[in-house]
Amino acid sequence: MAVEILKEKYRSQVREVVLGATKDEGGTRSATIKVGGESTLPFLHFEGEVPNPPVVAMEVWDIFPEEWPQNLKDAFGDALNDPAAWAKKCVEEFGADLIALRFKGADPDVKDASAEDCIAVLKTVLEAVGVPLIVYGCGKLEKDNAIIGPIGEAAEGENLLLGVAEQENYKSVASAAMAYKHSVIAQSPIDINIAKQLNILISEMSTPLLDRIVIDPTIAALGYGIEYSYSIMERARFGALNGDRMLGMPMIGNVGHEVWSKKETFIPVDEEPGWGDQAERSLAWEAVTAIALLQAGMNILVMRHPQAVKLVKQNIDELMQDNSY
């Protein structure tokens, strides 16, 4: 007797968001990237469409990343002193689909770099690589609100993915996106209700922004509550596929940022002999965290270690193989 394969039919699909803009579209990128558009759960090609593969963005800072573990720094060498060279290396040597530029130096407690300083760095990176860019501030609200407008203006038309809008602080980022044609990362603290509400708040400022929002559900590293992130993402996906327009956006996860601050990535083997070699362990920690999130529906992974990126990209290629029958 023939076995009938049960297939779920969903009412709706994830929104498709375009990142970057080519010359014809008002930017300077050599190509744009599309994320989202799935009409089924992750990689169930037999059931629906997964038109765009998940992508990997590699993190580049405006300052030398002193706090990174040595094996992570070693992977990039001298390039870490020059954001443009660093970005170029990520794209040309390590196959990054996008660059996530983090203005760590803007932090008043680090270097207090001005908006002009940030813009200068942004311009060199835009010149050095042709891939679309994600831009993060330093993480201190007041400073980020002050620099995000000028940064957005200086890169008008590039369709950067600007981070981050939060429930209590979304207007400056959303305004910059609205005024200068960029996209927005809407970040919520592992809370599906706030994720949805934030999208509503942003869309109330400008309805067309609905198609330019990427949700950051806030992810945790492996061993630090990744299952909470996983279940929030899963719920958002079911919502999206069942017609919830306010949760139907692609998702982004700050994998490198979460993973490389955890002790499993930097404690040397002589302190924890049972944990195994630190270099190998750390990049495995980043890769496995990313791979778990892919299964939950992550569209953009922001990562750090080139070896981990390589493993994840290989996994994406395998997962994107057609499994329809």
Partner 1 sequence: MIIIGERINGMFRDIAKAIREKDPTAVQEWAKKQEAMGSGYLDINVGPAVSDRVSAMRWLCEVTQEASKLPLCLDSTDYDAIEAGLEVCKQPAMINSVPAVQEKMDRVFQMASKYNAEVIGLAMSEEGIPKDAESRVALAMELVANCDAHGIPISNLYIDPLVLPCNVGQDHGPEVMETLRQIKLLSDPPPKTVVGLSNISLGTKNRELINRIFAVMAMSNGLDAAIADGCDEELIAAVATARIILNMDIYCDSYVDVFKNQNL
Interface with partner 1 (CB under 8 A): 192-194, 196-197, 200, 207, 235-236, 239, 243-247
Comparison of 34 and 245: residue with beta carbon closer to partner 1: 245
Q: End-to-end alpha-carbon separation of the chain, Å? A: 17
Min dist CB 276 to partner 1, Å, is 41
Comparison of 70 and 193: residue with beta carbon closer to partner 1: 193
Comparison of 235 and 310: residue with beta carbon closer to partner 1: 235
Comparison of 6 and 142: residue with beta carbon closer to partner 1: 6
Min dist CB 196 to partner 1, Å, is 4
Min dist CB 235 to partner 1, Å, is 7
Min dist CB 300 to partner 1, Å, is 22
Min dist CB 195 to partner 1, Å, is 8
Using alpha carbons, select from 11, 25, 34 the residue that is nearest to residue 243.
11
- What is the Cβ-side half-sphere exposure of residue 132, based on CA atoms within 13 angstroms? 27
Comparison of 202 and 221: residue with beta carbon closer to partner 1: 202
